[in-house]
């Protein structure tokens, strides 16, 4: 099905740039509306962020990362080369505007605005994602078992109570758990956790890579044209048929363009004059195919900033946030550090055959994705910047983009996600 650009349909209704979970969800929604769709990606079969995530449908994550006081705490983390946050100092000049904007989002009023916008997306996730999973055949590996956040100390648990109370106000269902209840639910955990929070509506999928393959196959089946190539820029010379310009000089035209290239999206927006603060928040993991333990659901280790998820393909231990840009080589010592934490808190795991991985989370400083039309070119629609919530918000983003493509009024106000917020 993959074609060279010169053989593609010269003008599709929609050209989706990006073959990850967000781009494919946008293509799926547009195809279901009856549009003709072309999807462009540099390597459809290659590894991508959508493959290596922790598998969580994290509908409870409706507050931004920049909580009050985090900036100071982050400075301390940076001293530890294998701590939960690292920064390649060579990348600092490029990342400085991002970090300054990140710091501003901890303002109390702005924090609340962002949280309400995240909740608007997350509170409709299951309405959108379940039909997509049903259509692509993914329901057999979709596990609605909740998730468990665990705390080693009473101090850390108490410090988070304000945020938990706010999340309840945003619609998150949760209840506190005692040390005995934690051991009853997840006996594989080391007996060091004094407090827990059970997240009723969290779920996870068994294999993120398989899901991407299922969705891609379904998009092909629905009639999409696939074009292999790296898009270098958008060309708006023809107002009725903008073009995606591939590195070879080939051009793929569509009546509408959807930019869904994750952490690589900023340069495409810049090619038509739209500014965005977007960085790669590089995440690491280890997947243990023969882990040998009986974890039932995703576990979030609150103080250590990592997670463990029982996937169909093994136990995945993931976390860390590394800012080093798109080109720096992976530092797999960070994967090893996560494995060491996993062994400490899941003492019976077997790490034989463990697989290391690094991926580029597309992060905005305010934790909100960019969804909506370009203010400079209504024919261009953005769908990127989902950070840790790409899988979670994929089908919802696809549904909102489909509304815009079809001229329908989206079910939620898209102003909070507009790229215009970065123009000042």
Residue 236 sits in a domain whose CATH number is 3.50.50.60
Residues 384 and 416 both lie in one domain = yes
For residues 291 and 189, membership in a common domain is answered with yes
In a domain, 116, yes or no: no
**pLDDT (0 to 100) of residue 320:** 82
Same domain, 313 and 397: no
CATH no. for residue 283? 3.30.9.10
Q: Name the domain boundary from 317, 345, 363.
A: 363
Decide if 135 is inside a domain.
Answer: no
Q: Are residues 408 and 338 in the same domain?
A: no
Residue 302 lies in a domain: yes
For residues 336 and 379, state if they share a domain. Answer: no
Domain range enclosing 81: 65-104+145-201+279-363
| 406 shares a domain with 356 | no
Q: In angstroms, what CA-CA distances link 279 with 64, 270, 312, 357? A: 16, 14, 31, 19
Indicate if 324 and 240 belong to the same structural domain: no
CA 95/CA 278 separation, integer angstroms:
9
Q: Are residues 249 and 230 in the same domain?
A: yes
Residue 2's pLDDT is what?
45
**Under a CB-based contact definition with an 8 Å cutoff, are residues 191 and 168 in contact?**
no
Task: Confirm whether 129 is domain-assigned.
Answer: no
In a domain, 133, yes or no: no
Low-confidence ranges of the chain (pLDDT < 50): 1-9, 68
Domain-located, residue 60 = no
124 — phi, psi (to 5°)?
-115, 10
Q: Do 396 and 349 share a structural domain?
A: no
Rounded CA-CA distance 83/304 in Å is: 9
| Residues 273 and 376 sit within 8 Å (Cβ to Cβ) | yes
State how many domains the chain has: 2
Assess contact for 23 and 46: CB atoms under 8 A: no
Does 309 map to a domain? yes
Structure token pair of residue 411: 């079910």
Name the strand (E) or helix (H) holding 158: helix 154-159
pLDDT at 321: 87
HSE, CB side, 13 Å, CA atoms: give it for residue 299. 28
Q: Please, which residues bridge with residue 177 across strands?
A: 196
pLDDT at 106 (0 to 100): 80
For the chain, give the percent of residues with pLDDT over 70: 93
Residues 74 and 150 in one domain: yes
Global pTM? Answer: 0.95
Both tokens of 208, joined, read: 């993120």
Report if residue 118 sits inside a domain: no
- pLDDT at residue 239, as a whole number: 80
Give the C-alpha separation, 160 to 158, whole Å.
Answer: 5
Based on the fold, state whether residues 318 and 240 are members of the same structural domain: no
**71 shares a domain with 187:** yes
């Amino acid at each position: 099905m993959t074609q060279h650009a010169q053989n593609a349909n010269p003008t599709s209704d929609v050209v989706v740039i990006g073959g990850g979970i967000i781009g494919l969800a946008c293509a799926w929604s547009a195809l279901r509306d009856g549009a003709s769709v072309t999807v462009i990606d540099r390597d459809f079969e290659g590894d991508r962020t959508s493959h290596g995530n922790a598998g969580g449908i994290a509908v409870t994550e409706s507050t931004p990362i920049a909580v009050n006081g985090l900036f100071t705490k982050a400075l301390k983390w940076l001293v530890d080369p294998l701590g939960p946050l690292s920064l390649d100092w060579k990348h600092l000049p490029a990342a400085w505007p991002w970090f300054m904007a990140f710091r501003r989002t901890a303002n109390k009023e702005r924090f609340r605005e962002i949280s309400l916008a995240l909740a608007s997306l997350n509170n409709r996730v299951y309405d959108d994602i379940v039909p997509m999973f049903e259509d692509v055949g993914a329901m057999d590996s979709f596990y609605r078992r909740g998730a468990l956040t665990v705390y080693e100390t009473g101090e850390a648990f108490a410090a988070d109570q304000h945020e938990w109370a706010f999340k309840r106000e945003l619609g998150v269902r949760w209840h506190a758990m005692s040390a005995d209840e934690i051991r009853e639910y997840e006996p594989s955990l080391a007996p060091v956790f004094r407090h827990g929070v059970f997240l009723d509506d969290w779920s996870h999928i068994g294999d993120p890579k398989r899901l991407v393959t299922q969705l891609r196959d379904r998009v092909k089946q629905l009639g999409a044209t696939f074009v292999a190539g790296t898009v270098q820029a958008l060309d708006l010379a023809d107002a009725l048929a903008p073009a995606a310009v591939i590195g070879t000089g080939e051009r793929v035209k569509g009546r509408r363009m959807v930019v869904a290239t994750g952490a690589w999206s900023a340069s495409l927006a810049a090619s038509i004059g739209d500014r965005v603060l977007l960085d790669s928040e590089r995440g690491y993991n280890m997947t243990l195919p023969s882990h040998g333990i009986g974890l039932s659901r995703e576990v979030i280790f609150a103080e250590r900033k990592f997670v463990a998820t029982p996937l169909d393909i093994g136990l995945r231990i993931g976390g860390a946030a590394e800012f080093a840009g798109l080109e720096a080589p992976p530092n797999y010592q960070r994967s090893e550090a996560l494995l060491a934490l996993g062994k400490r808190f899941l003492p019976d795991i077997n790490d034989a055959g463990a697989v290391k991985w690094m991926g580029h989370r597309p992060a905005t400083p305010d934790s909100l994705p960019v969804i909506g039309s370009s203010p400079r070119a209504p024919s261009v629609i953005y769908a990127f910047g989902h950070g840790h919530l790409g899988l979670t918000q994929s089908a919802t983003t696809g549904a909102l983009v489909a509304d815009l493509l079809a001229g329908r009024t989206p079910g939620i106000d898209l102003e909070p996600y507009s790229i215009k917020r970065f123009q000042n």
